[in-house]
């Protein structure tokens, strides 16, 4: 008994000692850090605390942001900026939770939570604050468009974008050469399928296309569908889910064709695994040389530049569809100001600083996004030449329709959470094209009926 007791006491002492080592520091540090958090409530502190949250935190982003923040705090010693960088996955839910509970949050990354935050009235319009901002003069059209793209009247500015995402096509020149294929000048979806099929060689572990059937795979289908539809499509980029007369695009015969095309690409050109692929797996498949073609956002350019021999890959335009149109889901990220922010002027000042041509350029170069100022794009050779020039090519065709939302004003009624899963079922042959499209069309039709035409 004595022996065992002694050993037990030893164990407990050890645990206690290690704990005391860290525990001793804990209350002190908590006190020290809790103080600035409550500062905005208690005006005793001189420093103004501004808390901003990033929704796509990654090393390169956080480093770039912290550099800008540190420089700003040095220039403005009365301002304390706290950057919150939660893991990218689930960050949107966290942002919405914080806003819903009125935790202090002054500047938010628009991420995927932005339209919800806007619907709930948590976002401050920026028009009045940005009237005198000289940065406005050099903003690109794409960036200006993103500032107002979620407003019903098309004029209210809700964010300052920090970068634009555009989609493009990546292909492996080494695999093309081996198969004796030359890439077309201007890619169409027909090219995509046919070349993909020619290159597909599963026996040797080579696949034509890195397909996206997993997370947000439905978005790929949506863009294909939009290029199948001609001039009937609604002209408002926020209501691309409808034809001009209010019919749901899912009711059209093109929807079936596009769906069958999508399945054909999966079955004949892609690894079977890719039914579950999202962003990461596609890039992985491409980088490892197993997939010859992928459709991706511009930030993948950076991954390829850093991880691949420049001789084995090239980029092309996001394919044009049978209707002669292309679809460009011009994505963006931006900083928005919350309604609850108690120091709006200070926060705006910082947002302007963050969005200056210089700082935005540095941020975009670190993260591979397209900068928001035309001057940056012109002056910085990284963006004006090389792989990024494909975006100029796409602009010049004049065939691309911007796709922002399926139906902004209806989005809260229409259930969208299971779309990727439904598509997977269709790819597996568990549901028919007609049933699937009818299901989606009915939801949008019901929403349209409830609220009328909103554009």
Partner 1 sequence: MQITKRERSDPKFWVGQVLRFAFLIIHLVVTVFPFYWMLNTSLKGSQAEIYAFPVIYWPENPTFQNYLNIAVKGNFIRFFTNSFTYAGIASLIGVIISVMSAYVLSRMRFKGRNWLLMLFLGTQMLPGVCGFAIKYQMMSKMHLINTVPGILLLYTSGVIPYSVVTLRSFFDGVPASLEEAALIDGCNRPQTMIKISVPLMLPGIASVLIFDFVNTWNDFGTANLFLDSTKKKTIAVALYSLIKSYDIAWGELMAGTIIAILPTMILFSLLRKYMVAGLVNGAVKG
Partner 2 sequence: MRRVDPTIEDISKKGRRRDAVFITLMVLPAVILVIWQMYYPVIAGLRLAFTNYNIQNINRVRYVGFKNFIDLFKPGPFNDFYRTMWNSLVFVLGALIPQLIIGFALALMLNRAFRGRSIYQGVAFAPWAVSGFVIGIMWRWMFNGMGGVINDLLVKAGILKEPFGWLSSSSTALFCVIVAMVWYGIPFFTIMITAALQSVPQELYEAAEMDGAGRIAKFKAVTLPHIKSVIILTTLLRVIWIFTGSDTIISMTGGGPAGSTQILTSKIYYQLMDGSYGKASATSIVCTLIMVLYTLFYLKITKFAEDD
Distance CA 73, CA 75 (A): 5
Mask of contacts with partner 1, 118-157, x by CB under 8 A?
A: ----------------------------------------
When the beta carbons of 45 and 202 are compared against partner 2, the nearer one is: 202
Size of interface with partner 1, in residues (CB under 8 A): 56
Say how far apart CA 305 and CA 324 lie, in whole Å.
31
48-53 vs 79-84, strand pairing mode: parallel
**SS3 for 363?**
helix
Considering CB distances under 5 to 8 angstroms, the limit depending on partner class, which of partner 1, partner 2, none binds residue 421? partner 2
Please choose, out of 84-92, 138-146, 169-177, 264-272, the segment that lies near partner 1 by the rule CB under 8 A: 84-92
Q: Is the CB of 290 or the CB of 328 nearer to partner 2?
A: 290
Find the binder of partner 1 among 29, 44, 204, 381 (CB under 8 A).
29
Q: How many residues does the chain have?
A: 455
13 binds partner 1 (CB under 8 A): no
Evaluated on CA atoms 132, 133, 139, 144, the torsion sign reads: negative
CB of 290 to partner 2, least distance (A): 6
Sign of dihedral through CA atoms 366, 187, 276, 254?
Answer: positive
- Residue 318 CB neighbour total at 10 angstroms: 25
Residue 287 found at the interface with partner 1 (CB under 8 A): yes
Interface with partner 1 in residues 189-208 (CB under 8 A):
205
Both tokens of 313, joined, read 């890959």
Q: Return the number of other C-beta atoms located less than 10 Å from residue 249's C-beta.
A: 25
- Contact positions toward partner 2, by CB under 8 A? 90, 92-93, 96, 100, 115-116, 119-121, 202-203, 205, 213-215, 271-276, 285, 288, 290, 411-412, 415-418, 420-422, 424-425, 427-428, 430-431, 435, 439
CA angle, 180 then 185 then 189, to 5°: 85
23 binds partner 1 (CB under 8 A): yes
* Least CB distance to partner 2 at residue 22 (A): 19
CA-CA distances (angstroms) from residue 81 to 50, 61, 193, 367, 416? 5, 16, 49, 21, 36
Cβ atoms 133, 352 nearer than 8 A: yes
At 303, list the tokens. Answer: 């991954």
Site for partner 1 in 203-232 (CB under 8 A): 205
Among left, alpha and beta (phi > 0; psi -120 to 50; other), residue 229 is beta
Return the range that interacts with partner 1 (CB under 8 A); candidates 295-303, 325-333, 373-381, 442-450: 295-303
* Shortest Å distance, C-beta 62 to partner 1: 8
- CB of residue 270 to partner 2, shortest distance in Å: 11
Residues that bind partner 1 (CB under 8 A): 1-5, 7-8, 11, 14-15, 18-19, 22-23, 25-27, 29-30, 33-34, 37-38, 51, 53, 56-59, 82-90, 94, 97-98, 100-103, 205, 279-280, 283-284, 287-288, 299-300, 303, 307
């Amino acid at each position: 008994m004595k022996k065992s007791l002694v050993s037990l006491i030893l164990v407990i002492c050890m645990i206690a000692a290690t704990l005391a080592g860290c525990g001793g520091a804990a209350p002190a540090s908590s006190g020290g850090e809790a103080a600035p958090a409550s500062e905005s409530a208690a005006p005793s502190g001189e420093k103004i605390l501004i808390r901003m949250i990033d929704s796509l935190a990654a090393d390169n982003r956080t480093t770039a942001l912290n550099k800008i923040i540190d420089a700003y705090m040095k220039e403005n010693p009365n301002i304390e900026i706290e950057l919150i960088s939660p893991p990218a996955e689930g960050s949107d839910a966290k942002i919405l939770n914080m806003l819903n509970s009125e935790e202090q949050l002054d500047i938010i990354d628009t991420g995927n939570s932005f339209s919800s935050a806007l619907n709930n009235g948590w976002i401050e319009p920026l028009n009045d604050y940005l009237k005198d901002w000289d940065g406005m003069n050099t903003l690109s059209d794409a960036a200006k468009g993103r500032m107002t793209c979620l407003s019903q009247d098309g004029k209210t500015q809700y964010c300052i974008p920090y970068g634009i995402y555009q989609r493009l096509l990546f292909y492996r020149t080494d695999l093309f050469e081996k198969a004796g294929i030359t890439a077309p000048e201007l890619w169409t979806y027909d090219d995509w399928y046919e070349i993909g099929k020619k290159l597909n060689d599963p026996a040797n572990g080579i696949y034509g296309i890195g397909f996206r059937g997993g997370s947000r795979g439905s978005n790929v289908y949506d863009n294909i569908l939009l290029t199948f539809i001609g001039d009937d499509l609604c002209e408002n980029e926020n209501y691309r889910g409808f034809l001009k007369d209010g019919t749901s695009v899912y009711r059209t015969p093109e929807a079936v064709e596009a769906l069958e095309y999508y399945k054909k690409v999966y079955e004949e050109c892609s690894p079977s695994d890719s039914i579950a692929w999202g962003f990461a797996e596609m890039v992985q498949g491409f980088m490892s040389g197993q997939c010859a073609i992928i459709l991706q956002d511009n930030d993948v350019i950076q991954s390829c530049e850093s991880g691949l021999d420049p001789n084995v890959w090239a980029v092309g335009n996001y394919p044009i569809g049978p209707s002669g149109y292309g679809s460009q889901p011009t994505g963006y990220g931006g900083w928005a100001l919350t309604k609850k922010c108690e120091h709006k002027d200070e926060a705006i000042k910082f947002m302007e600083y963050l969005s200056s041509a210089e700082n935005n350029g540095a941020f975009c170069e670190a993260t591979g996004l397209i900068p928001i100022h035309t001057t940056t794009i012109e002056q910085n050779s990284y963006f004006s030449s090389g792989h990024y020039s494909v975006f100029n090519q796409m602009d010049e065709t004049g065939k691309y329709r911007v796709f922002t939302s399926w139906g902004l004003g209806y989005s809260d009624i229409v259930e969208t959470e299971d779309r990727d899963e439904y598509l997977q079922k269709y790819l597996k042959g568990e549901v028919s094209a007609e049933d699937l499209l009818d299901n989606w069309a009915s939801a949008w039709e019901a929403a349209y009926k409830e609220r009328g035409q909103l554009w």
